[in-house]
Amino acid sequence: MSTLNTLNVKALTTGYDKVNVLHDVSIDVAPGKITCILGANGAGKTTLIRSILGLTPPRHGEIHWQGRNLAGEKTHKIIASGISCIPEGRKVFPRMTVAENLVLGAFLEKDDARVQARLEKVYNIFPRLKERMLQLAGTMSGGEQAMVSIGRGLMAEPKLLVIDEPSLGLSPLYVKENFNVIQQINALGITVLLVEQNARQTLAISHYGYVLSQGRVVAEGSAEALSNNDGVRSAYFG
Ligand SMILES: Nc1ncnc2c1ncn2[C@@H]1O[C@H](COP(=O)(O)OP(=O)(O)OP(=O)(O)O)[C@@H](O)[C@H]1O
Ligand SMILES: [Mg+2]
| 150 and 207 fall within a common domain | no
| 165 and 76 fall within a common domain | yes
User: Is residue 201 a part of any domain in this protein?
Assistant: yes
- Place 43 in a pLDDT band, splitting at 50, 70 and 90: very high
Distances (CA, A) of 200 to 164, 217, 223, 229: 16, 18, 10, 12
Instruction: Tell which residue, 45, 11, 53, 34, has the closest CA to residue 208.
Output: 34
Phi-psi region at 228: left, alpha or beta (left = phi > 0; alpha = psi -120 to 50):
alpha
The Cα 32–Cα 1 span in angstroms is: 12
User: Is residue 143 a part of any domain in this protein?
Assistant: yes
| 100 and 61 fall within a common domain | no
Q: What is the dihedral of CA 29, 101, 198, 23, to 10 degrees?
A: 50
User: Is residue 176 a part of any domain in this protein?
Assistant: no
pLDDT at residue 203, rounded to an integer: 96
- Place 238 in a pLDDT band, splitting at 50, 70 and 90: low
Q: Which CATH number goes with the domain that contains 65?
A: 3.40.50.300
| 103 and 220 fall within a common domain | no
What's the number of domains the chain is made of? 2
CB of residue 43 inside a 6 A radius of ligand 1: yes
Q: What separation in Å is there between the alpha carbon of 46 and the centre of ligand 1?
A: 7
User: Is residue 3 a part of any domain in this protein?
Assistant: yes
| 20 and 114 fall within a common domain | no
Instruction: Tell which residue, 109, 195, 192, has the closest CA to residue 155.
Output: 109
| 33 and 51 fall within a common domain | yes
Whether 17 has a pLDDT exceeding 90, the answer reads: yes
CB of residue 215 inside a 6 A radius of ligand 1: no
Q: What separation in Å is there between the alpha carbon of 202 and the centre of ligand 1?
A: 21
Tell how many helices (H) and how many strands (E) occur in the chain.
Answer: 10, 10
Whether 1 has a pLDDT exceeding 60, the answer reads: no
| 118 and 133 fall within a common domain | yes
| 61 and 166 fall within a common domain | yes
| 19 and 110 fall within a common domain | no
| 129 and 64 fall within a common domain | no
User: Is residue 122 a part of any domain in this protein?
Assistant: yes
Q: What separation in Å is there between the alpha carbon of 20 and the centre of ligand 1?
A: 11
**153 contacts 182 by C-beta, under 8 angstroms:** no
The Cα 101–Cα 92 span in angstroms is: 7
Instruction: Tell which residue, 205, 176, 208, has the closest CA to residue 7.
Output: 208
Query: For residue 4, which amino acid is it?
Result: L
CB of residue 47 inside a 6 A radius of ligand 1: yes
CB of residue 44 inside a 6 A radius of ligand 1: yes
Mean residue pLDDT across the chain: 93
| 60 and 109 fall within a common domain | no
The Cα 10–Cα 129 span in angstroms is: 39
| 202 and 133 fall within a common domain | no
The tens digit of pLDDT for each residue in 94-150 reads 999 999 999 999 988 899 999 999 999 999 999 999 999 999 999 999 889 999 999
pLDDT at residue 234, rounded to an integer: 83
**171 contacts 143 by C-beta, under 8 angstroms:** yes
> What's the domain range around 132?
89-157
User: Is residue 144 a part of any domain in this protein?
Assistant: yes
Kindly report the three-state secondary structure assignment for every residue of 173-201. HHHHHHHHHHHHHHHCCCEEEEEECCHHH
**51 contacts 62 by C-beta, under 8 angstroms:** no
